[in-house]
Chains A and B, each alone.
Chain A
Amino acid sequence: MSDIEQNYENDPDVPEGPMLLPLDAWHRAKGGRMVEFAGYAMPVQYEGIIAEHLWTRESAGLFDVSHMGQLEVSGPDGDMEAAAKALEALLPADLAALKPGRVRYSLLLAEDGGILDDLMVTNRGDRFYLVVNGATKWDDIAHLCENLPDEITLNHLDEHALLALQGPKAAAVLASLGLEPAGEGFPPVEELSFMQAAPYWWPRSPADESARPLGISRTGYTGEDGFEISVGAEDVAALADALCAHPSVKAIGLGARDSLRLEAGLPLYGHDMTEAGDPVSAGLGFAISKRRRAEGGFPGAQRVLALLGEGVATRRVGLAIEGRMAAREGAEILDGDMVVGVVTSGGFSPSLQRPIAMGQVATASAAPGTALAINVRGKLLATTVVDLPFVPHHYHRNLPKGAQS
């Protein structure tokens, strides 16, 4: 048989031998099968990808995403205007309008508008908190160091772990920990809205006076309601244990993380979006804020704004595939006998019990309902372009104040 870990390639820029996550021993004790990913030894699965995937959709899954880069960007004396301006020179979000406690999805762009990384930016009141991809974090840090003005401070939170708790029962589980908002005006954790964040204290027990700080956002990469929790490396094992002590929670590996995000139609950096591509073809035009479209001033603005105005040659689409055979990254997509695109990620959908994929397809063949074929090892699989996501999102959005339900 061929190499069975072929989908989990190593990052060539990281020194040899995988680095260990703060939860390394915890994963091994839970029976996690460790593979090298983004330079780290990480659990690809515990009991099995399909079971873990379905568990997350029905209950709550705990993911260790500590390989991701957690960064803070701040201006002199907490000058948020200066920090926003500096970051806006590197990405197309309207950070000046990002209120404290709010999270935005954004893209680090190259000079030609190619995508260097995708990331989440949170306004933490006196600084911006960024979460970037694990495989790209060293390049991102170098890029930020080189391009941010001298008065802007970049801090890599490399002593912090990051957990994601995802699924319909995530809010009830997190609420049961008895977290205390770390300041006036922060809501109880279960009242956070999608794309909102706040700091909390985690008491290990009511008697414990040394409560631990957590940074929590209502965000994730599964399409389900859920949270991402930034926690000191020294506290992460105790927190993971406390969460997994809840009968609704199981540890979930990278394999199910990938199948969940694929069903949710969420693109993966390096696959569904790349430095060679651009935000508009990748279907990420929503990440370019209205004000930034009007004003420009981000890397590659000329090209990206032209693509927004004039349209793109190819687009990211969802692909529903007949039969059981999966199409994977690199497979050719055909319209009749013409090659019109390529699969950028694909696999078997545990929720839908059929193969699904995302691909980059010529605009003329990219309308939902278009019948296409995918060439997998010489076999043509009947395929239909479908709207994304494949499985509906279940994000928790609070109604605006004063709105009636």
Chain B
Amino acid sequence: MSRYFTKDHEWVDVEGDTGTIGITDYAQGQLGDITYVEAPEVGKVLARGDTAAVVDSVKAAADVYAPVAGTVSAVNAALEGEPELVNTDAEVGGWLFRLTLSDAGELSGLMDTAAYAEYIKGL
């Protein structure tokens, strides 16, 4: 399994043609207390950069973009009752949705773990 990151603080774990997407620990820290996650509908077709989900914090609503193109295959049902999972476990249990990737080649434009760590150091 490989993990990729976007400049907009999404992460995507890729296994075969499935990508699991969430927001990074850095992003949840910036957002603060998360109170609601608006997940995409299963079956929705997303282009890279489309608004896929909305993460609502006490402070503001933040759009989550599709890091790569694909079709939504699952959403994290646990977040419905426990949106704070995105705060406490952003990069594992707080995943947001899964995509069936339509173009794995898009992954080459994303950062790896080391590059993302370097990127947020500069923010």
Q: Which A residues form the contact surface with B (CB < 8 A)?
A: 1-7, 44-45, 48-51, 53, 255, 259, 324-326, 328, 347-348, 350, 355, 377, 379
The answer to whether B63 touches A1, judged by C-beta atoms less than 8 angstroms apart, is yes
Q: How far is the CB of B10 from chain A (nearest CB, A)?
A: 7
Q: Of all chain A residues, which has the CB nearest B53?
A: A1
A324 to B34 alpha-carbon distance, docked (Å): 11
A355 to B57 alpha-carbon distance, docked (Å): 11
B64 interface contact, C-beta 8 A: yes
The answer to whether A259 touches B36, judged by C-beta atoms less than 8 angstroms apart, is no
Task: Determine the chain A residues whose CB is within 8 A of the CB of B38 once the complex forms.
Answer: 325, 377, 379
B30 interface contact, C-beta 8 A: yes
A–B pairs, 16, beta carbons within 8 Å: A1-B8, A1-B23, A1-B63, A1-B64, A1-B65, A4-B62, A5-B60, A7-B59, A324-B35, A325-B38, A326-B35, A326-B56, A348-B57, A348-B58, A350-B58, A355-B35
The answer to whether B60 touches A6, judged by C-beta atoms less than 8 angstroms apart, is yes
Q: Which B residues form the contact surface with A (CB < 8 A)?
A: 8-10, 23, 27, 30-33, 35-36, 38, 54-65, 83
| Chain B at the A interface: SS class | strand
A259 to B35 alpha-carbon distance, docked (Å): 13
Q: Give the interface centre of A4, A44, A49, A348 by most chain B CB atoms within 10 Å.
A: A4
The answer to whether B31 touches A4, judged by C-beta atoms less than 8 angstroms apart, is yes
A347 to B38 alpha-carbon distance, docked (Å): 15
Task: Determine the chain A residues whose CB is within 8 A of the CB of B9 once the complex forms.
Answer: 1
The answer to whether A49 touches B32, judged by C-beta atoms less than 8 angstroms apart, is yes
A186 to B50 alpha-carbon distance, docked (Å): 63
The answer to whether B33 touches A48, judged by C-beta atoms less than 8 angstroms apart, is yes
Known: A5-B60, A347-B58. A325 touches B36 (CB 8 A): yes
Known: A2-B63, A50-B33, A348-B36. A324 touches B83 (CB 8 A): yes
The answer to whether B56 touches A1, judged by C-beta atoms less than 8 angstroms apart, is no
Task: Determine the chain A residues whose CB is within 8 A of the CB of B30 once the complex forms.
Answer: 4
Q: How far is the CB of B36 from chain A (nearest CB, A)?
A: 4
Q: Give the interface centre of B30, B55, B56, B58 by most chain A CB atoms within 10 Å.
A: B58
The answer to whether A348 touches B56, judged by C-beta atoms less than 8 angstroms apart, is yes
Q: Of all chain A residues, which has the CB nearest B35?
A: A348
Count A-B pairs with CB separation below 8 Å. 70
Q: Give the interface centre of A49, A53, A348 by most chain B CB atoms within 10 Å.
A: A348
The answer to whether B32 touches A48, judged by C-beta atoms less than 8 angstroms apart, is yes
Query: Which 9 residue pairs spanning A and B have beta carbons closest together?
Result: A324-B36, A348-B35, A2-B63, A49-B58, A50-B33, A7-B60, A1-B62, A1-B8, A4-B62
Q: How far is the CB of A92 from chain B (nearest CB, A)?
A: 34
Q: Give the interface centre of A1, A3, A53, A255 by most chain B CB atoms within 10 Å.
A: A1
A2 to B27 alpha-carbon distance, docked (Å): 10
Task: Determine the chain B residues whose CB is within 8 A of the CB of A1 once the complex forms.
Answer: 8-10, 23, 27, 55, 62-65
Task: Determine the chain B residues whose CB is within 8 A of the CB of A2 once the complex forms.
Answer: 8, 62-63
Given contacts A326-B56, A348-B57, 9 further A-B contacts (CB under 8 A): A1-B23, A2-B8, A4-B60, A255-B59, A326-B61, A347-B58, A347-B59, A350-B33, A379-B38
The answer to whether B61 touches A49, judged by C-beta atoms less than 8 angstroms apart, is no
The answer to whether A49 touches B59, judged by C-beta atoms less than 8 angstroms apart, is yes
A328 to B35 alpha-carbon distance, docked (Å): 14
Known: A44-B59, A255-B59. A377 touches B54 (CB 8 A): yes
A24 to B36 alpha-carbon distance, docked (Å): 32
The answer to whether B62 touches A50, judged by C-beta atoms less than 8 angstroms apart, is no
The answer to whether B27 touches A259, judged by C-beta atoms less than 8 angstroms apart, is no
Q: How far is the CB of B54 from chain A (nearest CB, A)?
A: 7
A48 to B56 alpha-carbon distance, docked (Å): 14
Q: How far is the CB of B102 from chain A (nearest CB, A)?
A: 22
Q: How far is the CB of A119 from chain B (nearest CB, A)?
A: 26
Contact of A259 among B58, B61, B64, B83 (CB under 8 A): B58
The answer to whether A50 touches B65, judged by C-beta atoms less than 8 angstroms apart, is no
A359 to B33 alpha-carbon distance, docked (Å): 24
Q: How far is the CB of A304 from chain B (nearest CB, A)?
A: 34
A348 to B84 alpha-carbon distance, docked (Å): 13
Q: Of all chain B residues, which has the CB nearest A348?
A: B35
A41 to B54 alpha-carbon distance, docked (Å): 27
Contact of B58 among A5, A255, A325 (CB under 8 A): A255
Q: How far is the CB of B48 from chain A (nearest CB, A)?
A: 15
Q: Of all chain A residues, which has the CB nearest B29?
A: A33
Q: How far is the CB of A2 from chain B (nearest CB, A)?
A: 4
Task: Determine the chain B residues whose CB is within 8 A of the CB of A348 once the complex forms.
Answer: 35-36, 56-58
